Amino acid sequence: MAENRAENGNGASKSRSGNEEEEEAFAKLLEKYDAAPDHVLLAGGVEDWDGVVPEQVDRYGFVEMSKQQQQQQRHSHRSVQLLLRPTNLKVRAPNALAPNHSSQEALQTEIRRESKWAAMATRSVAADNSVSFSFDLRHPKMRSRTLKGVPDSWRAVAWASFLSRSSASASSDKHLADTLYPQYLSQPSSADSQIDLDVPRTIQRHVMFSARYKGGQRLLFRVLHAFSIHRADVGYVQGMAPLAATFLCYFDEATAFVMLVRLFSTHHMAELYAYGFGGLKSTFDDLSTALRPSKVGKTLESLGVDPMLYATKWYLTLFNYAVPFETQLRIWDYFLLLGSVNVLHAAAIALLDSLGDEIGEDFEQTLSRLTAFIDIKDNDLFMRVLDYELKHLNR
């Protein structure tokens, strides 16, 4: 992913005409995003079901591809064989493309996990009688249960708890959502034009983000606009859009903005997105060092395939577009809980190991395979391999 950064400079250095041009451009964009005809004001104006068959939408809101589209995309999917090390786990080299349980079994597992997470949750009642929930990250079962996957019904509460870990941050979150966010929405940003270009490119098959200038696209523009002002030191980069969009799948727009701010302030993302990507390059040096003793690491090094060529999108989007959405959520669960960049390294190593013999024929073919979509079917197995690699990295 090439650096495509839009920054908000120091206001004192801008000419008056420059400010006026930004304000005029921002006003025109707001007109587009705020003009919603009646036929798209469905499901609260967020989701666009026009022409969509409900049975073709998965549990996360993605419109499933037709058989013809699936056949066409299979050529870009990589078959995944999780090649486990001799000392690793109790299973050996299963095919992660084959689901390890039926949908009914998965449903029953989800129900059992929901009850366990409900038992871990802390219920709070505010002065206005509103009820909220949170999780204590010190709970002895928190890590093991997060590794198995946060139930989708508890994911918003869990992520908010993982990213806002103290009463001080809770107070700051309220200020961000109630005061700063509305203020930013009344100010222009020099990143607005680039954000507007990137919004319709973001998870297009999702019912929230399929209608131009409406619903989820409108919320996504507003969140990214506000963030570009709040973190003017980082600016706006294209990879931020799928991060914000993922949060919008679980939070209202103001809370999604807060979660994005927290992600960049507590989970190394500001370092990865730093100007010139120096932090990202340093992170990839660490990944290369971790890979060097392995067969896949030696193969990639001999071909001259640097992590910057294939893993930039993985790290900047937290594996959005690289793996199925459910797999991405599982990686996010663990990364948001632990907050360590080693989780990203472990996920990358697990993916590289899974490709096995598909890596190494030549530079172009290897790079093509590494940048293609990797269709993981057995997420439980993938996460267990990821956890093994993480423990190996943390030794």
Q: What is the mean pLDDT of residues 314-327?
A: 95
Q: Where on the phi/psi map is residue 229: left (φ > 0), alpha (ψ -120 to 50), or beta?
A: alpha
Q: How confident is the model at residue 65 (pLDDT cuts 50, 70, 90)?
A: low
- For the cut 80, the answer to whether the pLDDT of residue 60 exceeds it is yes
Ranges of beta strands (E only) in the chain are 5-6, 122-125, 131-134, 236-237
Q: How confident is the model at residue 16 (pLDDT cuts 50, 70, 90)?
A: low
Q: What is the pLDDT of residue 315?
A: 97
d(CA 270, CA 79): 33
Greatest mean pLDDT among 22-31, 212-221, 278-287 lies in 278-287
Q: What is the pLDDT of residue 9?
A: 54
Spell out the domain ranges in the chain. 22-51+151-266
d(CA 147, CA 117): 13
CA distances from 15 to 19, 21, 138, 206, 361 (A): 6, 10, 51, 40, 55
Q: What is the pLDDT of residue 220?
A: 95
Q: What is the pLDDT of residues 267-315, one digit of tens each?
A: 999 999 998 999 999 999 999 999 999 999 999 999 999 999 999 999 9
Q: What is the pLDDT of residues 335-345, one digit of tens each?
A: 999 999 999 99
Question: 236: which strand partners?
Answer: 6
354 alpha carbon, distance to own chain's centre: 21
Q: Which of 80-84, 137-141, 184-188, 277-281 has the lowest mean pLDDT?
A: 80-84
Burial 52-71 (b: 16+ CB within 10 A, else e): eeeeebeeebbbeeeeeeee
Q: Quote the tokens at residue 120.
A: 């871990």
Q: What's the first-to-final CA gap in the chain, in angstroms?
A: 31
Q: What is the pLDDT of residue 85?
A: 33
Please give the residue that has the higher pLDDT: either 382 or 167.
382
Question: 122: which strand partners?
Answer: 134
Q: Quote the tokens at residue 99.
A: 């689901």
Name the fold adopted by 22-51+151-266: Helicase, Ruva Protein; domain 3 (1.10.8)
Q: What is the pLDDT of residue 18?
A: 64
d(CA 17, CA 384): 56
Q: How confident is the model at residue 92 (pLDDT cuts 50, 70, 90)?
A: very low
Contacts of 108 (CB under 8 A, 6+ apart): none
Q: What is the pLDDT of residue 102?
A: 56
CA dihedral 315, 320, 325, 330 (to 10 degrees): 20
d(CA 312, CA 291): 16
Q: What is the mean pLDDT of residues 217-223?
A: 94
- For the cut 50, the answer to whether the pLDDT of residue 79 exceeds it is no
Q: What is the pLDDT of residue 59?
A: 85
Q: What is the pLDDT of residue 82?
A: 41
d(CA 184, CA 258): 13
Q: Quote the tokens at residue 347.
A: 């996920």
Instruction: Indicate the SS3 state at residue 317.
Output: coil
Q: What is the pLDDT of residue 325?
A: 95
Contacts of 172 (CB under 8 A, 6+ apart): none
% of residues, the chain, pLDDT over 90: 60
- For the cut 70, the answer to whether the pLDDT of residue 98 exceeds it is no
d(CA 325, CA 208): 15
Q: What is the pLDDT of residue 44?
A: 40
Q: What is the pLDDT of residue 64?
A: 80
Q: What is the pLDDT of residues 228-272, one digit of tens each?
A: 999 999 989 989 999 999 999 999 999 999 999 999 999 999 999
d(CA 283, CA 305): 16
Ranges of beta strands (E only) in 174-277 are 236-237
- For the cut 60, the answer to whether the pLDDT of residue 185 exceeds it is yes
Q: Quote the tokens at residue 279.
A: 């932090």
Kindly give the pairing relationship between strand 236-237 and strand 5-6: antiparallel
pTM of the predicted model as reported, rounded to 2 decimal places: 0.86
Q: What is the pLDDT of residue 58?
A: 86
Q: What is the mean pLDDT of residues 1-28?
A: 67
Is the distance from CB of 188 to CB of 229 less than 8 angstroms? no
Candidates 352, 336, 335; CA nearest to 387 is 335
Q: What is the pLDDT of residue 101?
A: 47
Is the distance from CB of 240 to CB of 1 less than 8 angstroms? no
